Structure 1
Amino acid sequence: MESWIAALAGSKLPIVIVPGGGLFADQVREMQFRMDFSDTAAHAMAILAMEQFGQVILDRDERLAPARSLEETVRALDEGKVPVWLPSSLALAAPDIPASWDITSDSLAAWLAGKLGANALLLIKQTGAFLGSDTIDSLAVRGIVDAGFAAMLPDGVDFHLAGPKDAAEAGALLASGNLPGIRIAVPIRPARKAG
């Protein structure tokens, strides 16, 4: 975690960090099983878990700035900061984000990429069990990305995936304006018919 945060904080690219829920979200899953509350409640708690992990990330580097809205995100980028998205203000009220465990920080990052008009999305994973020949569907089947990711990824956004083996060179790549990891091919969606 420390090396990735340092690499992201040193990026020359305009980037936004979307924290996962980590151990905080794992506790929500466990408590949902024990206490039998709805997916709607679990979804809200998992988004708050992302905010908790976001606070851990923010504590690591002075260049990182909290961002609760699109406006705060853009302002932080304009100031040369790296925004860390604290998603509850935007995500909990969004009608196009289903309240389901199929939607994790992966899908929320894709959703935010669309809202910001991003060119690329980099997901950093704790596994390196993926290849350039993988597809979003094969990654979802193996649980590397969540089940809702393909539907949430906007058209035209390049998708990159990095893991532990990419951490060592990530800082140099990001400082030079390049993304670490590998590019995953995104299928071209058929055009929707009007009417």
Structure 2
Amino acid sequence: MRRVVVKLGGSTAFSPEMREWIDALAASTVPLVLVPGGGPFADAVRQAQSQMAYSDRAAHFMAILAMEQMALALLETSARLAPARAIGDMEVLLEQGRIPVWLPSQMCLAATAIPQSWEATSDSLAAWLAAEIDAETLLLIKQTNAFDPRASVEDLVRAGIVDTMLPQMLAADVSLHLAGPSALASARAKLVAGQLPGVEIVSRGNAVRGAA
């Protein structure tokens, strides 16, 4: 069974739903790799940039470290979660039935094809990782239900649901699913049954994967 990359939005950080999502994901019979959003740690990078005036390039790298901070917090929520900095780590953990939680700095800081700006958030980094590990699906867990499954990826960009780089980073053979709070009630049962919560975004518009 090909694996699924799941990006857990950082906006869940201070919500009770975060723990509920982790409990659901930890029960999955589908092989998962978990990508954390930056959450409040990335927000701190944005706030400090306005005061310290450092470049978007510096902010990009700091936001990646913010994802690692979020990862460290998530790792304490379930014994099935384990840290992974490289693809080899993920392969070993998946074979053990664990859920790798990606600490992205090692891979992303060396990936020159990833734009070094706020355009590349954890959404597009998760899409990049999905292509790197030959994942079948990218599941983005959002803190909103305000998306239409009939929308194209570009429509989701325009609505501010996903970041602007996602259409370029999302490989043609990786399906995109979105799940909001309304999907949480049935999420655990679906994951136990080998299914995914949320909806599949069928329309790809003109999206093609770029150099990344």
Q: Aligned residues, how many? A: 192
1 CA distance for matches of 2:76 and 2:188? 19
Runs of 5+ unmatched residues, structure 2: 1-17
Matched, 1:121 2:138: yes
Pairwise CA distance, 1:187: 2.4
**Is the contact made by 2:37 and 2:70 (CA closer than 8 Å) also made in structure 1?**
yes
Shift in Å, 1:58: 0.5
Q: Which residue of 2 aligns with 1:49?
A: 66
Describe the superposition over 1:82-138 as per-residue Cα deviations: whole angstroms up to 9, x where unpaired. Answer: 000000000111011110111000000000000000111100001110021111111
Alignment of 1:23-172 (within 5 A): 23-172=40-189
TM-score between the two structures when normalised by the length of structure 2: 0.88
**Where does residue 28 of structure 2 map in the other structure?**
11
Give every structure 1 segment of 4 or more consecutive aligned residues whose post-TM-superposition deviation is greater than 2 Å. Answer: 186-191
Q: 1:79/1:89 Cα in 2 relative to 1: closer, same or farther (>3 Å)?
A: same
Q: Percent identity?
A: 51
Q: Is the 8 A contact 1:126 1:164 kept in 2?
A: yes
| Structure 2 CA distance for aligned equivalents of residues 190 and 27 of structure 1 | 31
Partners of 2:25 and 2:40 lie apart in 1 by 21
Matched, 1:181 2:208: no
- Aligned 8 A contact 1:159 1:186 in 2: no
Q: Secondary structure in 2 aligned to 1:17?
A: strand
Q: In the aligned structure 1, how far is the partner of 2:205 from the partner of 2:173?
A: 9
Which blocks of at least 5 consecutive residues in structure 1 are unaligned? none
Secondary structure in structure 1 of the residue aligned to 2:25: helix
- Note the aligned Cα RMSD (angstroms): 1.5
Indicate conservation of the 8 Å contact 2:149/2:199, yes or no.
Answer: yes
> Residues of 2 paired with 1:30 and 1:143: CA distance?
20
CA distance in 2, matches of 1:131, 1:188: 14
3-state DSSP class of the match of 1:160?
strand
- The CA deviation at 1:190 is 9.0
